[in-house]
Structure 1
Amino acid sequence: MTTDDTTAGGATLDPRRLARERRRASAARFWRRYRSHRAGVAGLAVLAFLALVALTAPLTIGAEVSDVTTAPGSPMEAPSGRFWLGTDRFGRDLFGLVVWGSRVSLLVGLLAAALSVVIGALVGITAGHFGGAYSTVIMRITDWFLVMPALVLAIALATVLSRSLGTVVLAIGIVTWPTTARLVRAQTLAVESRPYIERAKALGGGHLHIMTRHVLPNVMPLVLAQTTLLISSSILTEATLAFLGLGDPTVVSWGSLLQDAREAGAVSSGKWWYVVPPGIGIAVVALAFTLCGRGVESVLNPRLGVSR
């Protein structure tokens, strides 16, 4: 018998196997509860479909759809059997552009939300754990970011830095982390007040051990729920920056399509097919992520109730 094994009732148990089984049971319990939230399941189904469409776009649409030199149609053609959503001002197929643009919009939303959550979780956990002068200073900085208009700050950053997808992700991540930091800090303070934290400290657990082995697992459900909600706002912010001409001009996204439509005068000339499809795409994705976030919240916080 190894030192990693324990004996209970004459049976030898592997702690790692027990941990895996507990995680598997916890995931199964989470999914059972999540399935009872109809809106959350609907949002997840929509996201799964859109993710499949975005991932298979290189095979179904092809990168040449964004090339203005090989545009197959005339500028701003109305929807037809050949072009389901019409064409843009360069004669490119808008259906292919909307599908291809979903890749950039979803990617930027996911990366920006991940960056925001990482920064917010790091700030929140350290502020709640260490407290004192460090917590006071870092939370005053957080308050400063909270009172600043997020969109204005993102526009300022996108204007100063080079125009690229990395800049957009960085700008969105920097301006959206304070809410996560506040929530995680409050949860960290609640976790740190529990008796097993004092016991871990008495047994010699250091700061890193306490934060990573005890605090982080307890705040992860909150971080997960916050991530799903942040993705929708990140996609909306990316679309806004691209619409204002602050996105990467070399890539196609839903926001850049709206910018092209504005510059081409599609709204004033009644070319609705140029504006409506990317706008609907942004709205549907934002709504789907919001529904998923609400579903996760209802599972993690039963007091919110479950929609049936």
Structure 2
Amino acid sequence: MTADTTATPGPRTLTRQRRRASAARFWKQYRTHRAGVVGLAALVLCVLVALTAPLTVGADVRSVTDAPGGPLESPSARFPLGTDQFGRSLLGLVIWGSRVSLLVGLLAAVLSVAIGTLIGITAGHFRGWYATVMMRITDWFLVMPTLVLAIALATVMSRSLGTIVVAIGVTTWPTTARLVRAQTLAVESRPYIERAKALGGGHWHVMSRHVLPNVMPLVLAQTTLIISTAILTEATLAFLGLGDPTGVSWGGLLQDAREAGAVSSGDWWYLVPPGIAIAVVALAFTLCGRAVESVLNPRLGVSR
């Protein structure tokens, strides 16, 4: 009688196989959403441009004292997008500004989703007076204008990228908290949650092992949608003069253009490039978010 030499895969191997299969299914369904693919391609291009900025344009592009051109030169072969009021290349500034705008948008979205997920899961799990208090706080943030709260925080705190991230993150989490709480209530009504509790599973075990994996698809879709909002909010704060004065961002370029009188003097090349960059990146994240949301929840019926 021959022994069976076929080894049984371990738990970790099976977990990795399931994750790879799940990722493959997700990508196969995501590719059917043409708008999502276009948005993803635009994001990949923007990220590559941002990551290679130190090599393509260099950090010297931000220097005011060593500006290579004259003030407010129109687009030419030397400066394809013209120059700003200090004689710096606007093409280089837009490329370098993508680093700040994308970084702030990503970090602010992660902070916002983390706060909303924490409050949503705990409020859906514990319920009672804790859930009542948390939901009333969430409702207060929902009815308050997000931009006004962000401006207030950015005004009180020091002007830096960290301040912008915190100001956006702590004012945009209520929607995520509401969605995650509703999903948590739905998950905890399932029979296997009762079995886990009967077998001795504590609060942390139930929330981390059963609830969190089931709400992660919703969290992922919400993150991609919030990033576009965070980028627009960062641009608005920078345009209002509340951004980091030492950095270069797309909103900061628009604020510099306003101060230089580009609108009244007709220097369109100072306004259009950063504005288009903000719109393209925000639209790309929105397209990706809608596609992810449609893949994870086909009942939404999002158009492809």
TM-score range, shorter chain: over 0.9
SS at match of 1:162: coil
How far the C-alpha of 1:9 sits from its partner, in A, is 11
- Distance in 1, Cα, partners of 2:37 & 2:199: 44
Structure-1 residue corresponding to 2:16:
20
- Distance in 2, Cα, partners of 1:276 & 1:58: 23
Stretches of structure 1 that go unaligned for 5 or more consecutive residues are 1-7
1:79 to 75, 89, 95: 75
Structure-1 residue corresponding to 2:87:
91
Structure-2 residue corresponding to 1:160:
156
1:258 to 248, 254, 259: 254
Work out whether residues 38 and 307 of structure 1, in 8 Å CA contact, stay in contact via their aligned partners in 2.
no
SS at match of 1:12: coil
Deviation string, structure 1 residues 182-214 (Cα, Å, up to 9, x no partner): 000000000000000000000000100000000
| Distance of aligned partners of 1:245 and 1:27 in 2 relative to their CA distance in 1, 3 Å threshold | same
Matched, 1:239 2:245: no
SS at match of 1:82: coil
Deviation string, structure 1 residues 58-112 (Cα, Å, up to 9, x no partner): 0010000010000011100000000000000000000000000000000000000
How far the C-alpha of 1:307 sits from its partner, in A, is 3.8
Structure-2 residue corresponding to 1:273:
269
Work out whether residues 94 and 249 of structure 2, in 8 Å CA contact, stay in contact via their aligned partners in 1.
yes
How far the C-alpha of 1:278 sits from its partner, in A, is 0.1
Matched, 1:248 2:268: no
SS at match of 2:172: helix
State the aligned residue count.
301
Work out whether residues 224 and 289 of structure 2, in 8 Å CA contact, stay in contact via their aligned partners in 1.
yes
Structure-2 residue corresponding to 1:36:
32
- Distance in 1, Cα, partners of 2:65 & 2:237: 26
Matched, 1:198 2:194: yes
How far the C-alpha of 1:11 sits from its partner, in A, is 5.1
What amino acid sits opposite 2:178 in the alignment?
A: R
Matched, 1:301 2:289: no
What amino acid sits opposite 2:208 in the alignment?
A: T
1:225 to 221, 226, 235: 221
Structure-2 residue corresponding to 1:64:
60
- Distance in 2, Cα, partners of 1:106 & 1:158: 19
1:148 to 136, 144, 151: 144
What amino acid sits opposite 1:204 in the alignment?
A: G
Deviation string, structure 1 residues 171-192 (Cα, Å, up to 9, x no partner): 0000000000000000000000
- Distance in 2, Cα, partners of 1:93 & 1:13: 58
How far the C-alpha of 1:42 sits from its partner, in A, is 0.4
Matched, 1:284 2:284: no
How far the C-alpha of 1:303 sits from its partner, in A, is 1.3
Deviation string, structure 1 residues 256-277 (Cα, Å, up to 9, x no partner): 0000000000011100000000
- Distance in 2, Cα, partners of 1:307 & 1:209: 38
Matched, 1:46 2:46: no
Computed over aligned residues only, the root mean square deviation of the Cα atoms, in angstroms, reads 1.2
SS at match of 1:247: coil
